[in-house]
Structure formats: structure tokens, C-alpha cells
Structure 1
């Protein structure tokens, strides 16, 4: 019983001493107290060399090298798609529509007949004018024969000068009448031609607004159908006014290329060129309008719809680029994880100029050939050991243990 009590008292003395030796090892060590050394050595053995925590295992990552390449500089904006031409098809003469020769939504060429007005009254007018000209032509022919006779008689003084002059005047009068008749014939022929209502431009027809059998008038025109030219097609873009200088500089050298994109910029719709920069800035919004023309061969651009635009205004020679996926966004701005030669990761702030075709233009922060992490960055911290997929770790990296860093940027 006494022995058990002694053991209990000894334990109560040793345990607090060990606890104090572990937590106050630096102070105790400096005092060089012999009884505390065993506890200090045990604590150091658990933590590893130099009292540091055990190293984390390497993080598996994928990397890609930064490249130097020529990079196009873009301006972006949203635009409204407009047809190059839109025409309301109307009758130019009065009459009854006797034929409708088109289908709604049909593609037509310039000059195609769309509808026919009853041509009979206009054909009758043309025939009448032709008859009038024939009559006046006959009068002219007779007057010219008489004039030739009078000219011969005046030489022998068999007729007075007055009669000869009157005959010359009559001939000129009939000539003028014949010219008037020819003009009337041309007018009647034109009116007859207007009974065939033709497509003024090539394009696609809309909804038919007048049915066969209706009477239409030229003085109060009624739209029969609307034809819209879709190829080529125009897009009016709105850009910030600060971009005016860059855009005009590019247009001063050549027509600036532009790409039409969907609203989320994920799909390319068509490629075209900027054809016009507006001559003034909208002071209320601080924007300026640009007009672009697109071939629209695939008919992906539709009037009234919206399309984003990416306008090429310059080309940066030998610019540094990296995969866009490698660029991360933190509270201090954009950054990348750089894979160093010793297979450790380094946090690197960068300045991104623009994103294009899955790559980022790096204005500042990277050099050609430096490797950036493109996958696996979520578990990285500054100085963390890494293993690169498809690459054997260096001997230096295998032999080196890095301390755990408390700084981590996601």
C-alpha cells in the first residue's frame, strides 16, 4: 500500500515536469536543466529536424510553357444586326392584282416577278398611242413630199415664198408631234411593264400583306410584301469613345477585320470588315458607332438580332502569352503559379492584357519559357512541392523538404 502511494506521488511529479519541458523547451534548454533533456528530445523527434512539421506530399499538377507570339489586339462591343437593304414592294400603277407569284419566306433575285396587275387597260393605251403615232407619221410624210415640191417651184417663181415657208413650218410641226407620240408610246409601254411587279433587290421575302384580287393604287401605295437583303448584311456596333483613336488608326491602314460572336462569345458567327466609323461621338453615352459588313453565307446573322463583335485594331509582336486557364483571380489581382526548376510552386502576380482564343496576353509578370500550372493549382501554396504529370521529379526536389507555408492564395 505504501509502495503504491509512492508511485502515484512520483507520477504526479514527473508528468507536469514533462509537460513543462515540452512547451517551454527553448527556455529550459537555455537553462541546461538535466532532468528536462529527455522530454525535449522526445518532442523534437516527433516534429522532425529543426523542430519543423513533417513536409506535405507533393501536389500533382499539369504545366504549360509561356510563349512569345504575335498577338492581335481586339476591341469588343455589342452590335445590332441590320439588313443591307429592306424594300417595301408596292404597285406603281392602279389596278387589280390578278396573280401572286411568290411564296412567303422565299428567296428571290432582283427582277423576279412577284405579282401581276391586270395588264389589259395598259395594253390598250399602248396600242392607242402606237396608232396615233402612225397617223401623225403619215401626215409628216405627206407634208415632207409637198415641201419638196414647193422647194422646186420656188426656183422658177411659180409659187410664193410665203407658201414655201408655211409648208416648212408644217413639216416641223408634224415632226414634233411624232416625237411626242413616241414619248407617249414609251410612257404607255413603261406603265404596261409596271403591271409586272418585280423584286427591286435580291433577298428574302416576308409575310404577304395583300391577296390576289385586291385593287391597289399608286397614289396611296399598299405594301404587297417586304424583301430584305441578307447577303451581305450589316452590324452596327457601339464602342466606348476612348477606342476611337485606335479604331481610326487601324482603318487608316486597311479595313479592320471583325468577328461576329454570340452573346456569350462562345461561338463565331461570321467574319467581316469595318466599313464605317461614325463622324461623331454620342455625348450622352460616351460611345461611338461603327458599321461592319459580313458575307453572311451561312445566314447566321438575322436582322434585328444582337451580335457581339471582336475588332482587330493592332498586332502585338513577340508578346508573352500563357493558357488562359492558368490565370487565377485573387484579392490582390491576377496571378499564376509558376513551376520552378526545383519542382516547387511559386506565386507570381501578373498583368493580363486580354484573353483571346483560350490564351492570355501577359503584359507583365512572365517571361518566355517559364512554366505555369494549368491544373492542380487549388491545393498549391507558395513553395509547395509539386510533381508534374509526365515528368520525373529532379533529384534535388526529391532530397529537399520544404516547410509548410501558412500563405495560400486561391
Structure 2
């Protein structure tokens, strides 16, 4: 046994030595291998800072149409969703009660006018007799008072006739504004009147429409600066998807106080809404520019990494090694990051492959095929709705 081990010992040691050399060569090759990364070049340009806030669509005018007279609803002259003009007939109330009141007032007026005419003729006769001292002054005064009384009755009856005519006219309910009618709230045959809280229908004028939204108070001064200067500030209204632009309008007004519960100020934007894409009480997202940075350092948002000490980027040095550079971020969006400090324009930053990097790691850099961060020297154009 001892003789066998003594013979195999040198052979085993040689195999181990050869394997160790092979492993050391393989490890050295792995250590010298470069990490492939995709890089983009930081550039200087203008950047528009946008603010997106939830808002609610409100029509420019909305009217709950009620009957101004008590009566039975005779007919409906509209369909839900129909566009109507101002003055179009919407419904009709049974006018017979109002017509009867008009007839009574007309008869009373005729009687009062007859009394007035007779009293005036008698007054003329009394005035002639008074010049001949054939009638007392008191009787002449009484006759003048009677003429004035009948004249007042005539005016009162004329007022009753005007009221009765108005009631007859109000039996035909017309649209007070141009817009779209909603679903009818009452059926023919029902008794309706001014005290009916349901009303007959709601007419909304949605062209133009408004969107009311709130802006944090720390952003308000920048928005008000442009608004008070008369600058046209464009506002986009988005639906459920961030790519779904429903309408484009402009900022019109701001509230004059801060909501203490939320620390925000309400703003109002106006939209032409010619295609009726915005519906009353619809929830949308209002997006508006609040600031323009004319000379910002821009990099793709994917280049920014987060560490224990804050945000940083991997910058590729001239010797093709990666360096960790802490940065301070400015306002950005989902695709572009604004670098307030840390790197300058022209720096090559890693946008893909950063998970395999450490400071000093050798890299093989490939330029990014994605477009450069968008830039703008001014806010987008604004058109009046």
C-alpha cells in the first residue's frame, strides 16, 4: 500500500497544479472582460415644465328648465340629447286656465273703461254748471275723484291682462339658452309648476366648456405671472390614458383665495369643445406649462440611478471606465431628466446595463438609438378656443 501511494503522489500533484493554472487563467480572462452598456450624451437645451392636475368639466351654462305656471303638462317637444337653439319650444302646458283668466281680465277692463268714460262725461257737464254757480264745489270735487278712481281701475285691469297674457305665453316652455337637452324628468299628464324641484329638463351649453382644477400654492405664483400678464397659457385635457388628449384650450381665470384644507388654488380653463368630447361633470386631467428652463442639462430619465446617498449617474470616462457621479435633479418628466448640477453637457451617461457596473468597471459603450431628450425654447403655442 505505501509503495502504491508513493508512486501516485507526484502524478496527483501534477494534475492539481495544471488545474490550478487553468483556473487562474480563466479567472484572469473574466476579470479583464468589459461590460457592454448603452450610453447617451447629455445635452443643453430648453425644457418646458408641465403640471398635471385632476379636474372636472363644467358647461359654460346649465339651466334647469321649470314651468313658470301651474298646470298639466300637455306635450314634450324634444328628445334626450337633442341640440336646441334659444327660443325653441321644449314643452307645452295646458293653457285653458290661463286663457280663462285672460278673458276675465279683459271683461273687467271693458267694464272699468265704460265707467271711466261715463264719469269723464259727467265731469265735463259739472264743470260747465260750476261756471254758472249751478253746482256746489264739493259735488264737482267728488266727480273728479270718481274719474281718478275709475282711471286707476283701468290701469289695474290692464296690469291683470298683462299678467294673464304672460301666463298664456308661459304655457309654451322654450329653451332659455342654446345647447343640448338631457333626458326628460317628467312625463305628459303630470301636474307641474314653479315649485317643482325636479323640473322638466336640463339644458347645458357645452360649447365652449370649462375645466376646473386645483394647483398647489407653491406653483401658483409662476402660473399667475403669465396669466396676469395676458400670456395665453395652453391647457390640454386628458382622459384615462396619458396619451388620450380629449381637447386643447387655454387658461382663463384663477380663484382669489387658497383652499385651507388642501393648500391649493382653483383655476379655470376654457375649451371650444366643438366635437363635444368633454361632457359635463366628466373627470379629466388638466396639463399646463408652468415654467420654461431655457438652458437646462438634459439626459434620458433611464440614466438616473438611486442610491443610499441620493441620485447618481454612471459617466463613461475617456479610458472607457465607468465613474459614479452624484447629481442634483431638477424638474423632469417620464422620459427626460433635468440635471441641476453634477455633470455638464457632452458627458456620456449610461442608460442601459447600469446594473452590472461599479466605479472603475471597464465598459464597451454603444450609442443609444433612442431619440435625444426633447427640448423647447418656449412654451407650446396657445390658440383661443
User: TM-score per shorter chain, which class?
Assistant: 0.7 to 0.9
Structure 2 Cα separation of the partners of residues 375 and 304 of structure 1: 44
Q: Secondary structure at the match of 2:153?
A: helix
**TM-aligned CA distance change 1:388 to 1:103, over 3 Å:** same
Structure 1 Cα separation of the partners of residues 197 and 36 of structure 2: 81
TM superposition shift of 1:292: 1.9
Aligned to 2:287: 310
Q: Which runs of 5+ in 1 are unaligned?
A: 23-38, 391-410
Structure 2 Cα separation of the partners of residues 275 and 87 of structure 1: 22
**TM-aligned CA distance change 1:55 to 1:164, over 3 Å:** same
**TM-aligned CA distance change 1:362 to 1:277, over 3 Å:** farther
**Residue 54 in 1 paired to residue 28 in 2?**
no
Aligned to 2:269: 293
Aligned to 1:34: none
Q: Quick one: higher RCO (CA 8 Å, sep 6+), 1 or 2?
A: 2
Structure 2 Cα separation of the partners of residues 360 and 17 of structure 1: 54
Q: Which runs of 5+ in 2 are unaligned?
A: 370-385
Aligned to 2:255: 277
Structure 1 Cα separation of the partners of residues 152 and 125 of structure 2: 22
Aligned to 1:176: 152
2:116 to 140, 151, 156: 140
Structure 1-normalised TM-score? 0.70
- Give the conservation status (yes or no) of the 8 Å contact 1:344–1:384: yes
Q: Secondary structure at the match of 1:355?
A: coil
Structure 1 Cα separation of the partners of residues 237 and 186 of structure 2: 36
2:236 to 259, 262, 283: 259
Structure 2 Cα separation of the partners of residues 141 and 357 of structure 1: 88
**TM-aligned CA distance change 1:348 to 1:17, over 3 Å:** closer
Aligned to 2:55: 79
CA RMSD of aligned residues (A): 4.2
**TM-aligned CA distance change 1:291 to 1:7, over 3 Å:** same
TM superposition shift of 1:137: 3.2
Structure 2 Cα separation of the partners of residues 353 and 338 of structure 1: 18
Alignment of 1:344-383 (within 5 A): 346-356=323-333, 358-373=335-350, 382-383=361-362
**TM-aligned CA distance change 1:341 to 1:173, over 3 Å:** farther
Alignment of 1:171-210 (within 5 A): 171-210=147-186
Q: Secondary structure at the match of 1:354?
A: coil
Q: Secondary structure at the match of 1:385?
A: strand
Q: Secondary structure at the match of 2:149?
A: helix
Per-residue CA deviations over 1:310-345 (Å, capped at 9, x if unaligned) read: 344433333333344544455554444445666665
